[in-house]
Amino acid sequence: MPDLSGLQRDVLDRLQAKHRAREAGLDSSRRAVRASANAIRATHRGEWERARALLGEAAEALASARAACAAHPAVEHAGFLHDADKEYAEARTTHALVAGEALPSPEALGVDDAAYLNGLAETVGELRRHTLDVLRAGDLERCERLLSAMEDIYGLLVTVDYPDGVTGGLRRSTDVARSIIERTRGDLATAAVQGQLRAALDAHRRAVLGE
């Protein structure tokens, strides 16, 4: 009978190393996702210093995840690292657009193109949330600028005509972004008409009362 003890030892050692890499990568990826989500919340609240600190935490966690998985390509491409990249890209692009900063590139963020584009698509939803907050404050002009940014993002996304296996399911994210933009455009149109009607009624009241 063949002696399998050496083979067993080698295989188990490699599997153990792969398992450790997966666990470490998962833990760091979860920390990156959590920090990214909290950074988005801080951005919406205008807590700029906290948002930037959380974005830094997310970047560090992603670097740790990549380092843990670097020697194990199967683990690196299992999907969880891509998801963390996407959440980080969403957080960074949301922060940039809300704060009026330059949009960071995929290279600057250290994420792959598919993760970046999917994160950018989800940023459209975050911009809608911010637009509605600004609309309640009555700043219709800023709302229009935010809507323009959303439309520019969509204009980029629709040019990416590759299979979902290459883009990570970007087609669906693009369709969702389009529906969000259409709803937002409708909300702003309604607000503009209501504002015009209110102004007309106020002018009529002043004319009747001789004010």
The CATH number linked to 167 is 1.20.58.2140
In a domain, 47, yes or no: yes
CA–CA distance, 103 with 136 (Å, rounded to integer): 26
In a domain, 107, yes or no: no
Residue 210: the pLDDT is 67
Residue 8: the pLDDT is 74
Residue 110: the pLDDT is 93
CA–CA distance, 99 with 44 (Å, rounded to integer): 10
- Domain-ending residue, one of 100, 122, 154: 100
Same domain flag for 124 and 190 = yes
In a domain, 148, yes or no: yes
Number of domains in the chain: 2
Same domain flag for 92 and 117 = no
Same domain flag for 57 and 147 = no
Residue 121: the pLDDT is 96
Q: Which domain holds residue 62?
A: 1-100
Same domain flag for 75 and 127 = no
Residue 93: the pLDDT is 97
In a domain, 106, yes or no: no
Same domain flag for 203 and 149 = yes
pLDDT, tens digit (0-9, with 9 covering 90-100), for 23-78: 999 999 999 999 999 999 999 999 999 999 999 999 999 999 999 988 888 888 88
Same domain flag for 87 and 139 = no
- Domain-ending residue, one of 76, 100, 124: 100
In a domain, 105, yes or no: no
In a domain, 38, yes or no: yes
For residue 4, report the phi and psi dihedrals to the nearest 5 degrees.
Answer: -95, 5
Same domain flag for 149 and 76 = no
Same domain flag for 44 and 24 = yes
In a domain, 1, yes or no: yes
Helix/strand/coil for 77: coil
Same domain flag for 117 and 192 = yes
The string of DSSP letters for 94-117 reads HHHHHHTPPPPPHHHHT--HHHHH
Residue 1: the pLDDT is 60
Q: What is the largest CA-CA distance in the chain?
A: 109
Same domain flag for 88 and 24 = yes
Residue 190: the pLDDT is 85
Same domain flag for 73 and 138 = no
Same domain flag for 120 and 33 = no
- Domain-ending residue, one of 49, 71, 100: 100
Q: List the chain residues with pLDDT less than 50.
A: none
Residue 72: the pLDDT is 87
- CB within 8 Å of 37: residues ≥ 6 apart: 87, 91
The string of DSSP letters for 7-72 reads HHHHHHHHHHHHHHHHHHHHHHHHHHHHHHHHHHHHHHTT-HHHHHHHHHHHHHHHHHHHHHHTT-
Residue 203: the pLDDT is 62
